[in-house]
Amino acid sequence: MYAAIRQFKAKPGSADALAERIKGAVPIISEVSGFMGYYVIYAPDDTVTAISVFNTVAEAQESNRRALAWIEDNLGPLVVGQANATAGPVIVHSLP
């Protein structure tokens, strides 16, 4: 299992607008082969972190490639600076 992680800083007070727009990214990410899950966290300091889970590192990297392009094309006015991304193996995981 591999996680793809994207992170960026949002303009203060844009959580609601971002949440609505980010829903548009779900099909872009979920259509990547091996997709297992997608989560977005909005921290109090306006840091947005999106985490996707896949079967292989290549799938996770492909999702990052697609997501970064989507962020640039769709979230520009709500983002401060550039988004960054990484992917790697999930080394600990637990479900109920």
State residue 88 phi and psi, 5-degree precision.
-175, 175
Q: What domains lie within the chain, and their CATH numbers?
A: 2-89 (3.30.70.100)
Q: Mention every residue, 6+ apart, whose C-beta is less than 8 A from residue 36.
A: 1, 53, 54, 55
pLDDT digits (tens, 9 = 90+) for 14-25: 888 888 888 888
**Helical H runs in 5-95?**
15-22, 26-30, 57-74
pLDDT digits (tens, 9 = 90+) for 31-60: 999 999 999 999 999 999 999 999 999 999
Q: Which residue has the tokens 């990052």?
A: 64
User: Whole-angstrom Cα distance, residue 42 to residue 76?
Assistant: 17
Q: Indicate if the pLDDT at residue 7 is higher than 90.
A: yes
Q: Please answer whether residues 63 and 56 qualify as being in contact, where contact means their C-beta atoms are separated by less than 8 angstroms.
A: no
